[in-house]
Amino acid sequence: MMPSLPIWQFDVLLLVLVVLFAVVALSIRNLMGAAVVFGAYSFMMCLIWAGMGAVDVAFTEAAVGAGVSTVFIVSTIYNTSATMRSRPGGIAFKLFIGVVVTLAGVFLLSALPDFPDWGDPNSPANATVAPYYIENSIRDTHVPNLVTSVLADYRGFDTLLETIVVFIACIAIYSILRIETAKSKTDEPEEDTATAPPSYDPSDSLIVRQASRFMVPFMQLFALYVIAHGHYSPGGGFQGGVILGASLILLAISFDLKFILRQWREKPLMLLVASGVCLYATVGLACMFTGGNYLDYGSLDSVLPNDRAMARSHGILLVEIGVGITVMFSMLAIHINLASNGRFDRGL
């Protein structure tokens, strides 16, 4: 017999590191260091999810948590300050937040008795819902990846609303941070220390530029594979969209923000953010026009090749493409807003 692997020892080590990184990220006063520690925390969470078998969640955590979220934090620090400053009345504010968090925690814990026991095989999720997905996913959708079939088909409304949330978040950040050029010229001095270019410009590095030129095509090719192959392996529109957005963000950092803005203008960029949601919603309307319910991809068998199950598989691919488009351009638009402090002219 093969000896059992010491899985629980690795889990304990990862949990200890997660707690350690969380405490360090909250206590360190240098915000740039906190951003790096936060990225390490997200990477540890990625390993924990992978160890639990939730590879799709680990993939998302690696792309979003350890990837673009860290870049967003660094972009924000670029336009603010790298050191945390204490404010008057900080202790009272912290006590107030502590009381609010404690009360919220007690309220949430009071609901625990209403949940089924941990691992109860007779709970509704384990006795009814999960077995149906496992037994019928291949027959219904021809999609081996259960996560994709659940998110994009059985729970298609949830994924549509999640895509709309990404779109609304992008619009909200745009609305809050965007500064009109005329207003910035009249209300602020020309040389603003918060947005003045640093003494060392990374875009002057030939090595960084050429390395990014070499990496970006492979990143985008892999992202397209993740979107198209999410039916059969971990991935999908959200993960692939984040990687596509990260490839453009890499170009923006390696060269400069104006290099990206020459390729992606402000208004077309926001229209592309909305186009992914429109594609997702249009697929649902097409299902209704072909005699089915909203997002019932099986009714598209009259216009898509093969049988009803394959039509559901093709419908899933279409909505995953819509998710990828919205997520990709949302990531880029958020980075441009944060890096340029809402001016869309220059930045990190």
Same domain, 93 and 171: no
What is the Cα–Cα distance from 244 to 28, expressed in whole angstroms?
32
In terms of residue numbers, what domain contains 235? 146-348
Percent over 70 (pLDDT), the chain: 86
pLDDT over 70 (residue 246): yes
pLDDT at site 88: 63
Domain end residue (candidates: 90, 111, 132): 111
Same domain, 185 and 66: no
- The answer to whether the beta carbons of residues 157 and 163 sit under 8 Å apart is no
The overall longest dimension of the chain from CA atoms, in Å, is 77
- The answer to whether the beta carbons of residues 227 and 245 sit under 8 Å apart is no
pLDDT at site 347: 60
Lowest-pLDDT range, 174-183, 190-199, 272-281? 190-199
Regarding pTM above 0.75, the answer is yes
- The answer to whether the beta carbons of residues 62 and 49 sit under 8 Å apart is no
Within-domain flag for 131: no
Q: What is the mean pLDDT of the chain?
A: 83
C-alpha dihedral over 78, 83, 89, 91, to 10 degrees?
A: 120
pLDDT at site 160: 93
Same domain, 59 and 167: no
Same domain, 30 and 106: yes
pLDDT at site 206: 77
pLDDT over 50 (residue 186): no
> In Å, what is the CA distance from 319 to each residue of 32, 88, 279, 348?
37, 50, 7, 33
Same domain, 220 and 316: yes
For the stretch 291-344, pLDDT in tens is: 889 988 888 888 877 778 888 888 899 999 999 999 999 999 888 888 887 676
For the stretch 209-242, pLDDT in tens is: 888 888 999 999 999 999 988 888 888 889 999 9
- Assign residue 14 the CATH number of its domain: 1.20.120.1200
- What is the number of domains present in the chain? 2
The whole-number average pLDDT for the span 80-102 is 78
What is the Cα–Cα distance from 289 to 310, expressed in whole angstroms?
19
Same domain, 335 and 188: yes
User: DSSP letters along 319-330, please?
Assistant: HHHHHHHHHHHH
pLDDT over 90 (residue 106): yes
- The answer to whether the beta carbons of residues 234 and 60 sit under 8 Å apart is no
Same domain, 230 and 296: yes
Within-domain flag for 289: yes
Same domain, 167 and 96: no
What is the Cα–Cα distance from 239 to 254, expressed in whole angstroms?
22
Residues 6+ apart with CB under 8 A from 253: 71, 202, 212, 348
Lowest-pLDDT range, 30-39, 200-209, 214-223, 282-291? 200-209
pLDDT over 80 (residue 180): no
